[in-house]
Amino acid sequence: MTAEIWEVPDENENRTVPMALAGRETSYLDSSKLYLNDIGRVALLTAEQEVDLAKTIESGLFAERVLEVRQAADEDKERLLDGLGRSIYEATIVRLQNRTKLQSNGADDSTSLEKSSVKKQLSPELDKQAKRESDEGVAIIQQYAFNKKIASEDLATIADMGRAAKSQMIEANLRWVVKIANRYSEPGLETRDHVQDGNDGLIRAVEKFDFTRGYKFSTYSEAWIRQTISRGIADRARAIRLPIYLTDVIHKMKSTAYKMEQTDGIAPSPEDLAKALKMPVKTVVHLQEVSRNVVSLNISINEDGDTELGDLLVASGRDGNEVEETVLSKDMQTAVRGLLKNLSEVQAQILSMRYGLDGEAPKSMQLIANTLGLTRERVVTIERNALKRLRGGKDGRACREFLRD
């Protein structure tokens, strides 16, 4: 299933709802189209407007912190300032390393921008600079918090202006989220799921935007939006969850494979993909295997929901349960192979030949003895000792469960 493509209407497009359609359930009035119409009405921002809004947001956040310290009880002020200091320190670390990351990788970098991955690579110079900025920030907040000449009403007004600027910047970039979300197509997830995840990344980007670097906001925010969409895919698109970093690599592999197929007219081989991605062929094959989606036998295949995929599977056994028997048989074979690993090589070989565990027909004691160059009595003794060992071990319970069923 391919996710639908969302198109944001042009700002000047006529969106008047015809009277004949009012109150009816039509595709024109569904929630997705209404959302696209709403965000299409918001004017885009220029680079100068982005900087102005970013400054207002920063001032509003500062005013909120000052008010928080000023309104706290005396015994809580020191604890609150320590917490603000840690927040400023961690935010500085993230900002400085993301600045380096954007400079080296550009806007296409979709790796994690969280602080947990940042601290592992912390250099002494970076730590020193972050601590200095943290101390300076706490000192400034403390100075304004205890300065009675600055009215709390004025600080509240600045905080409100910061929140309004944040909302304006988010709303003006919602169509950018839709554009990025349209690049993703995952079975089990719709475009609206990607848009919702991307909006979370947009909010984080607005909060972390460093306007002093001279980047356009769209350049900076793309990494955050792509990261949250990738995490949403990893969390919800698959029955078996994959790590975030693996999801990013698989997405890159699929995009490269699609481009190569469009160019060459045929699907690329693992060797061609490995060369294009500069990866070992073994790694590409592994990624292709783990990227396969698991399909539930209970999934509905019609609109009424009364027919499941499992109902259409051929079950031609005597009791009509060939599929279930096949699955149980494979599980039992896996359990038996695990038991044989606990035996010596000769014991495992004799049991496999005697009972046909190697996929061939069971063999007689004499034939096994002739094959291995042993006497028949020796083979009987080895088989008896091996079975005794399996019966007395805890691992034999797995096979006994299959026999009980």
How far are the Cα atoms of 78, 144, 309, 336, 348 from residue 72, in angstroms, in the given order?
Answer: 10, 14, 60, 66, 73
Q: Is 177 exposed, middle or buried (0-12, 13-18, 19+ CB in 10 A)?
A: buried
Q: CA–CA separation, 11 vs 9, rounded Å?
A: 6
The predicted pLDDT at position 203 comes to: 93
Do the domains 323-404 and 240-294 match in fold? yes
Task: Give yes or no for a contact between 60 and 45, defined as CB atoms under 8 angstroms apart.
Answer: no
Q: CA–CA separation, 300 vs 311, rounded Å?
A: 10
pLDDT in single tens digits along all 405 residues of the chain = 445 666 666 555 544 444 333 444 444 447 788 888 888 888 888 888 998 999 899 888 888 888 877 777 666 777 777 777 777 777 777 666 666 554 554 444 444 454 444 444 557 777 777 777 777 777 877 777 777 777 888 888 888 998 999 999 999 999 999 999 888 866 666 788 889 999 999 999 998 888 887 888 888 899 899 888 888 877 776 667 777 778 778 888 988 998 998 888 888 899 999 999 999 999 999 888 888 777 777 777 666 667 777 776 655 444 445 555 665 566 666 777 777 777 888 888 888 888 877 777 888 888 889 888 989 899 899 888 888 877 766 555 555 554 454
Domain boundaries, the chain: 47-172, 240-294, 323-404
Task: Give yes or no for a contact between 198 and 147, defined as CB atoms under 8 angstroms apart.
Answer: no
119 CB-near residues (< 8 Å, 6+ apart): 93
The predicted pLDDT at position 225 comes to: 92
The predicted pLDDT at position 63 comes to: 83
Q: Within its chain, how far is the Cα of 8 from the centroid?
A: 26
Q: Which residue type sits at 280?
A: P
Return the structure tokens found at 293: 């989606």
Q: CA–CA separation, 134 vs 125, rounded Å?
A: 14
Q: Which CATH architecture has domain 323-404?
A: Orthogonal Bundle (1.10)
CATH of 240-294, one of 1.10.10, 3.30.420, 3.80.10, 1.20.950: 1.10.10
How far are the Cα atoms of 120, 158, 246, 276 from residue 104, in angstroms, in the given order?
Answer: 19, 36, 22, 21
The predicted pLDDT at position 109 comes to: 42
Q: Which of 50, 51, 57, 137 is nearest to 90 (CA)?
A: 137
The predicted pLDDT at position 107 comes to: 41
